[in-house]
């Protein structure tokens, strides 16, 4: 069994995944980091060199491989759900948890921090609040369709979010036959 975390960027997937994996005694992986390792360059460069189609192809290949590894929590990329094949693979591998956050929360998390940290770059070139609202309008139905569990990640530390997911999934994880 694999637990896949889905959601818009900055919804908390990469923060919650290691905490949930620790509670389960499993491993965890960030799909975007795997893509970067395999490509030998940052995602931004993949987009520059290969466009979104090239990135999505790499993302689907990495995700397909990761979903074959049992007892793992995967922090998927925010757009992994755009592929029907990815959505089905995630559901077939085990529970899919949508970390849902409001547009306001996502925008706040994506903007630069007060200590001079950098903002995450825009995906569309539009102001971040417009971008988040527009992209979510397209993706939310796909997140909802794919998720076996929806967890709101607004205003709660990653540890608490992981604890709630663990509580909701404890029974299905306990019933999994040993490998």
35-71 burial string, b = 16+ CB within 10 Å, else e? bbeebeeebeebeeeeeeeebbebbbebbeebbeeeb
Q: pLDDT for 115-128, tens place per residue?
A: 444 445 567 778 88
Contact yes or no for 63/82 (Cβ under 8 A): no
* pLDDT at residue 172, as a whole number: 67
Long-range Cβ pairs for the range 176-179 (8 Å, 24+): 176/1, 179/70, 179/71
- On the question of pLDDT at 26 being above 80, the answer is yes
CATH architecture of structural domain 2-172: 3-Layer(aba) Sandwich (3.40)
Q: pLDDT for 54-89, tens place per residue?
A: 999 999 999 999 999 999 999 999 999 999 999 999
**For the chain, what is the mean pLDDT?**
90
Q: Residue 112: which pLDDT band, with cuts at 50, 70 and 90?
A: low
Q: Residue 111: which pLDDT band, with cuts at 50, 70 and 90?
A: confident
* pLDDT at residue 117, as a whole number: 46
* pLDDT at residue 155, as a whole number: 85
Map out the domains of the chain as residue ranges: 2-172
Strand order in the sheet with 96-100: 27-30, 72-75, 2-6, 96-100, 149-152
């Amino acid at each position: 069994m694999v637990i896949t975390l889905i959601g818009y960027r900055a919804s908390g997937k990469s923060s919650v995944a290691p905490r949930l994996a620790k509670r389960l005694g499993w491993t965890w992986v960030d799909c975007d980091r795997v893509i970067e390792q395999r490509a030998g360059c940052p995602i931004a460069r993949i987009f520059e060199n290969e466009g979104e189609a090239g990135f999505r192809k790499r993302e689907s290949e990495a995700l397909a491989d990761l979903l074959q590894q049992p007892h793992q929590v995967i922090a998927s990329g925010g757009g992994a759900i755009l592929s029907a094949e990815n959505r089905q693979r995630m559901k077939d591998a085990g529970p899919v948890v949508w970390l849902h956050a409001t547009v306001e929360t996502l925008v706040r998390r994506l903007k630069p921090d007060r200590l001079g940290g950098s903002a995450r770059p825009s995906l569309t070139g539009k102001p971040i609040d417009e971008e988040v609202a527009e992209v979510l309008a397209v993706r939310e139905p796909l997140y909802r369709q794919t998720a076996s569990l929806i967890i709101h990640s607004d205003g709660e530390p990653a540890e608490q979010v992981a604890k709630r997911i663990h509580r909701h999934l404890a029974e299905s994880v306990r019933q999994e036959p040993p490998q």
